[in-house]
């Protein structure tokens, strides 16, 4: 079973990012989005610790999901901290919705003691 929040509709043919986790009952929870929305959100993340390897690091070094897909993010708490640290005053409404959904998905992944996966297609 899969539950999808879709921010990709209307961008078919453009690169797609999926941010997801798989629950203990094998249900896949994912957010499907146009790469442009993801790029915008990543531009708002500020590095928090030198050498910390979470979303900011992998995005800006073009590693992780760019190298192979799907790709497992091991530090769910770090992802939560990065998403939480975004200054929401400059984020447009669509990206704000995506940000909130990503944050809640990450919280659920942490609660389930599982990982977050990113796919790039």
Q: 96 with 87: CB under 8 angstroms?
A: no
Alpha carbon distance 47, 10 (integer Å) = 32
* Most confident listed range (29-38, 47-56, 71-80): 29-38
Three-state DSSP state, 112:
coil
Q: Which residues contact 67 (CB under 8 A, 6 or more apart)?
A: none
Mean pLDDT of 4-13: 97
The predicted pLDDT at position 78 comes to: 85
């Amino acid at each position: 079973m899969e539950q999808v929040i879709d921010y990709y509709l209307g961008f078919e043919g453009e690169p797609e990012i999926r941010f997801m986790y798989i629950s203990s009952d094998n249900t896949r929870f994912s957010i499907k989005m146009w790469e442009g929305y993801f790029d915008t959100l990543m531009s708002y993340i500020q590095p928090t610790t030198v050498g910390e390897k979470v979303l900011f690091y992998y995005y800006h070094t073009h590693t992780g999901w760019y190298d192979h897909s799907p790709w497992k993010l091991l530090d769910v708490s770090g992802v939560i901290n990065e998403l939480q640290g975004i200054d929401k005053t400059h984020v447009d409404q669509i990206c704000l919705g995506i940000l909130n959904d990503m944050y809640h998905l990450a919280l659920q992944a942490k609660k389930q003691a599982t990982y977050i996966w990113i796919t790039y297609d």
